[in-house]
A = this chain, B = another copy of it.
Amino acid sequence: MLEAIKYNNRKLEVLDQLKLPHSCTYQGVTNVTQTWEVIRSMKVRGAPAIANVAVLGVAVELNEKDFNSKEQLYEVVKEQLEYLQTSRPTAINLRNAANRIISLLSVQLQDNKLSVNDMKESDFSFRIIKEAEDIFRECKMKNLAIGEHGASHIINHLSTGSQATILTHCNTGSLATAGYGTALGVIRSLHLRGMLAHVYCTETRPYNQGARLTAFELMHDKIPSTLICDSMVAALMKSKEVSAVVVGADRVVANGDTANKIGTYQIAVCAKYHKIPFYVALPVSTVDLSLRDGGAIPIEERPSVEMTYIQGVPLAPTDMNCWNPAFDVTPAELITGGIITERGVFKVQELEKKISTDKEDGIWY
């Protein structure tokens, strides 16, 4: 399996996904400024992956620094995490991961038994680094659980004796996460159980994550698959047997409305029209209960040049006016299959209750 993020002995490297599928090049990341840059430029992308890279970026910079007080540590790390959250606005995982680190910092700060003199021994920095590493390790385990829950749910809804044909969008695999993948994790689990007939993946214009990354991962792992253009989804649903659509998510809010890669909403509309179940697969850290509905999710708009050029080749008149939202919001009513998480598959209506029950102290990454 491909790795988007390599982290060993407090050394961080990210796969430069802009160069895929032409070359597999890893770039070392040694500080927070570089971390912001690799996220912003989309060398690393995918809601879970950018959260992992962000906290690991803080960890590798912390590893090289000394602090005079726990207050100083708190201020520096908090500022770094706030800065990293400005890299891309739509995904919530980064904020949730940041909040988990900040919460630990606060606990340390408020613990009067820990004084400046304890600094050297207790090594507050080490605890933060350890927490970032835990986030990364847990992310991999959650992906496995998402894959297993999703595969079981889909298999239970297949007619007897048939295998699943899945349509997915964008990239939600090992390149988008810390490991197995979310939607692509579900596909991997189906494949490993011998229950996958075929996968269709969309190109995912304008950044072509499907064509460049998902196609690359599927071929790499020898999963039977076919690439289609984003415009072919309805035709595919009409002319081939599609068992289910499974996509990832950048933010799911309290009522189940889901922000994900531009084009997701359209696929959900088509799935509804063709009566095909539509699933969203995500770690619980993608859920944002602070927003009631999808209208409040900030949607990043990216530059025209991403549409008018591809790898330096002009595709359109270069001064053509473009609208380039990076995400859209799929209303809960269209998520007919369910929400696949590491804790199980929920109906959208159940999501808030299930998550709230489990949530402790506002931190559940």
Q: Hey, which bits of chain A sit against chain B, CB under 8 A? A: 21-22, 200, 202-206, 208, 211-212, 215-216, 219, 225-236, 238-239, 262-263, 265-266, 269-270, 272-273, 307-308, 310-317, 319-325, 328
Q: Name the contact of A325 in the complex, choosing from B205, B232, B308, B325 (C-beta under 8 A).
A: B232
Provide the bound-state CA to CA distance between A319 and B226, in Å.
11
Q: Of B204, B235, B328, which is within 8 A of A262 by CB?
A: B235
CB pair A266 B313 closer than 8 Å: no
CB-CB under 8 A from A262, the residues of chain B are: 229, 231-232, 235
**A265 to B231 alpha-carbon distance, docked (Å):** 9
Contact A269 B229 (CB under 8 A): no
> Nearest Cβ in chain B — how far from A263, in angstroms?
3
Residues of B within 8 A of A265 (CB): 234-235, 238
Q: 6 A–B contact pairs at CB < 8 A? A: A225-B321, A226-B323, A232-B263, A232-B266, A273-B273, A313-B313
Nearest Cβ on chain B to A243's Cβ, whole angstroms: 17
Residues in chain B near residue A324, CB distance under 8 A: 229
Residues of B within 8 A of A273 (CB): 269, 272-273
Check B319 against A211 for contact (C-beta < 8 Å).
no
With a cutoff of 8 Å between Cβ atoms, the chain B residues found around residue A315 in the complex are 203, 208, 211-212, 310
Residues of B within 8 Å of A314, CB to CB, are: 21-22
Contact A219 B317 (CB under 8 A): yes
Distance from A326 Cβ to chain B, minimum over Cβ atoms (Å): 10
A253 CB to closest chain B CB (Å) equals 16
Complex Cα distance A269/B315, Å? 27
Nearest chain B residue, comparing its CB with the CB of A232: B262
Partner of A307, one of B203, B311, B323: B203
Contacting pair A266 B234 (CB below 8 A): yes
Separation of A202 and B322 alpha carbons in the complex (Å)? 10
CA distance A311 to B313 in the complex (A): 8
CA distance A315 to B202 in the complex (A): 12
A235 to B22, CA, bound (A): 31
A316 to B171 Cα, complex, angstroms: 13
**Cβ contact within 8 Å between B323 and A200:** yes
Q: In the complex, which residues of chain B have a beta carbon less than 8 angstroms from the beta carbon of A200?
A: 323
CA distance A330 to B226 in the complex (A): 23
The residue from B216, B227, B231, B325 contacting A321, defined by CB atoms under 8 A apart: B227
Q: Are A230 and B205 in contact (CB under 8 A)?
A: yes
**Partner among B227, B238, B239 whose Cβ is within 8 Å of the Cβ of A320:** B227
